[in-house]
Structure 1
């Protein structure tokens, strides 16, 4: 989007065009275009109708709030899910942060979450058009520069309300001065763009701001939080910062790097947390956070890997964030329990859990464990994995709805399902994985009841 189009959309005439476009039953139709051009110049009509499609895409991440905002295509693609942005903002508040310097703020989706949490935000965006959209979007927040002061602390003066400023400029050049001039405890937030003229890129050298700048912020005296793609190369992660992989409703969405120096960094352990600690960002740690529950599981780099055995009665598919963080061992930890008298008692001995094959993510046990860190299945049957045997099993059991899951196997589940020709009233889940006996096909069902051994 060019600056002129952004100026049109943020003008009073643009607001009127957006209102009309919002009320059209089919903004993508030829009739909608004709209707808009009767009222507005062709350029504004097209821009307003384009926003309808962008808002529809953004709704999947931000919900109804997306309809109040202005977007670019890149801005929608890079926007963080609202639940993840809110989680991050809450963590910064609990760390004592009062001001966020959002370098490369894009359309301002994360900045809105910071404002919602009561944090002041200075956003910097190198593209003037996107900066103008971000300024408009932050003006829709309940908190802003013109809001009244916040409530007074008990017995103290009234606290100034959070403020939002968006600057069009190069964040790398402006960052030193903005950090020096910030009031309160500041955190630099970075969500490096991962797009080039060729489209979306996963190459580290294509990040903007560049990786050397990101590394420098993570070594600075101020707090820094960096949002990266979940597949960012582990070998490039700095050893002395916390890396947290985040999943939302089972989808792996990001890897965050956290540097929270000073007395404000919360580090009180929570024995209830899987892995033995509830710290937000322990330096040099690797952990997983599962939303919406907020459960955090920690990797133990000194622990030996699981033993390898044949499948037991139960099978566990760790949440992808848990797997990526290397925190699968936390599944076996039994938390403290509260007795009938209300007294806290130590957790039980670690559950006996093992892998099905070296390097395979699936875990197994003979006793059930309900854990927020994994999906639990009961193994019903182990069958021959060859095509004729699988097809015969599906036919004999009249399977019409067949879910196929796999790990470390070069199989296309959709293509395999088509070849098996499922037909009938019954439902089944088939899991293909290497085991100690080679490739195996396991018939499993998800556990929906709560066994006695519960990890929470």
Structure 2
């Protein structure tokens, strides 16, 4: 056993030896045969056409498929259905594991990663911990030669299938996927590296998320060490402890349609000069970005205006609320709360905007009467700075009526709780 420093600076034991082998679920080997892929294509098409999973399973059994093969085909077809949200139509041709799909980036986000490497002139990039191959797929599309490495042998075989599928579309050579531990890979002749450290326990399904960055595989220390030597991108969770971000890295928080999906750290030639913080927002198929040389200080609290802006989660995580406020000519709604308020309606992809209609009573009985008097039967409840369960409150309000509105539970410029009736702009 040898000791290596962890991301938190504490020694951590690292055991040498071959990569662990995780047995694939029963029947999943069949998916990698020509017969299995043909059967899977049929099952996928059936689900896409609206067939019930039970009906698909019965048909597979009627055709003589062994129970474990039928289960594998149905599970994989359902994974493809779920994967459409991340991969679009391409999902119908790829193979997944539940854990691999959970950790995989959306293909639109991965294409942004690959573009960084392409813009930096990287031609061969090591995809260390490639999972099901999403990043390598995006690299192939950019004309980059991926050197894909995956610790789990079965996942590596699925990734190799996925890369071969995309390479065939492009008429290019299918890359191999090497089964190895990222820490053992020789990076000689490589122009750059991308790492997506595993944040779940080993396995193909029923995995759990790791809570400590010290448990990431490979470790953050290893990933950041590569970043000190070559152009490197490291994909991490959106809730990454900011104290772990190296000073030389560009930190970019990425959201897709309002959901923050990752923190990406960029090193070397991939880090843009003068940019330390970035919020990248994918919304409605368009991409927008806000950048700064560092955290933006909050602006002053002001009295409530006609409009309330709720910054996108990527803007909040990047601590660029103050920069957004300056752009909008807005102020903080209340100290320490990520709501902005202003007098003008300014369209922005970096925030949801609400027109404030009136201030309602905070006490629940009075609030229920006020909503009933206005005939509001459908109510979106949003809160910041208020200790309330929106779903439970909605049930207790016993809403009836044909009108719909948004209720914002927060604090005003004095720090006092307030209930604001609003409409989305």
Taking structure 1 as the reference length, what is the TM-score of the superposition?
0.80
Match of 1:328 in 2: 321
Say if 2:161 is the partner of 1:136. yes
| TM superposition shift of 1:33 | 4.4
Match of 1:340 in 2: none
- Cα distance between partner residues in 2 of 1:163 and 1:224: 24
| TM superposition shift of 1:112 | 1.0
Cα 1:403–1:23 change in 2 (3 A) is: closer
Cα 1:16–1:147 change in 2 (3 A) is: closer
- Residue by residue, what CA displacement relative to the aligned partner does 1:292-333 show, whole Å, maximum 9, x if unpaired? 432211245475421112311221111110011011122245
Match of 2:178 in 1: 167
Q: Tell whether the 8 Å contact from 1:120 to 1:163 is kept in structure 2 after alignment.
A: no
Say if 2:228 is the partner of 1:235. no
Match of 1:275 in 2: none
- Cα distance between partner residues in 2 of 1:413 and 1:191: 35
Say if 2:55 is the partner of 1:17. no
Alignment match of 2:401 (pick from 424, 442, 449): 424
Say if 2:70 is the partner of 1:74. no
Q: Tell whether the 8 Å contact from 1:196 to 1:206 is kept in structure 2 after alignment.
A: no
| TM superposition shift of 1:234 | 0.8
Work out the number of aligned pairs and report it.
393
SS at match of 2:43: helix
| TM superposition shift of 1:27 | 6.4
Alignment match of 1:92 (pick from 83, 100, 117): 117
Cα 1:404–1:114 change in 2 (3 A) is: same
Cα 1:250–1:303 change in 2 (3 A) is: closer
- Alpha-carbon RMSD: 2.3
SS at match of 1:56: helix
Say if 2:171 is the partner of 1:194. no
Say if 2:68 is the partner of 1:57. no
Say if 2:300 is the partner of 1:310. no
Trace 1:93-172 onto structure 2 (pairs within 5 A). 93-142=118-167, 147=171, 164-172=175-183
Q: Tell whether the 8 Å contact from 2:27 to 2:71 is kept in structure 1 after alignment.
A: no
The answer for unaligned runs of 5 or more in structure 1 is: 149-161, 266-279, 335-350, 448-456
- Residue by residue, what CA displacement relative to the aligned partner does 1:107-162 show, whole Å, maximum 9, x if unpaired? 11221111112211111011111111110111110468x935xxxxxxxxxxxxx7
Match of 1:364 in 2: 341
- Residue by residue, what CA displacement relative to the aligned partner does 1:383-413 show, whole Å, maximum 9, x if unpaired? 2211122111101000011111111221111
Match of 1:215 in 2: 224
Q: Tell whether the 8 Å contact from 2:295 to 2:318 is kept in structure 1 after alignment.
A: no
Trace 1:303-452 onto structure 2 (pairs within 5 A). 304-333=297-326, 352-437=329-414, 438-447=416-425
Say if 2:321 is the partner of 1:296. no
SS at match of 1:106: coil
SS at match of 1:364: strand
Taking structure 2 as the reference length, what is the TM-score of the superposition?
0.86
- Cα distance between partner residues in 2 of 1:357 and 1:6: 54
- Cα distance between partner residues in 1 of 2:244 and 2:102: 24
Cα 1:31–1:163 change in 2 (3 A) is: closer
- Cα distance between partner residues in 2 of 1:31 and 1:6: 17
Cα 1:133–1:6 change in 2 (3 A) is: farther
SS at match of 1:232: coil
- Cα distance between partner residues in 1 of 2:149 and 2:107: 20
Q: Tell whether the 8 Å contact from 2:167 to 2:174 is kept in structure 1 after alignment.
A: no
- Cα distance between partner residues in 1 of 2:296 and 2:78: 49
Match of 2:8 in 1: none
| TM superposition shift of 1:283 | 6.2
Trace 1:201-280 onto structure 2 (pairs within 5 A). 201-220=210-229, 222-261=230-269
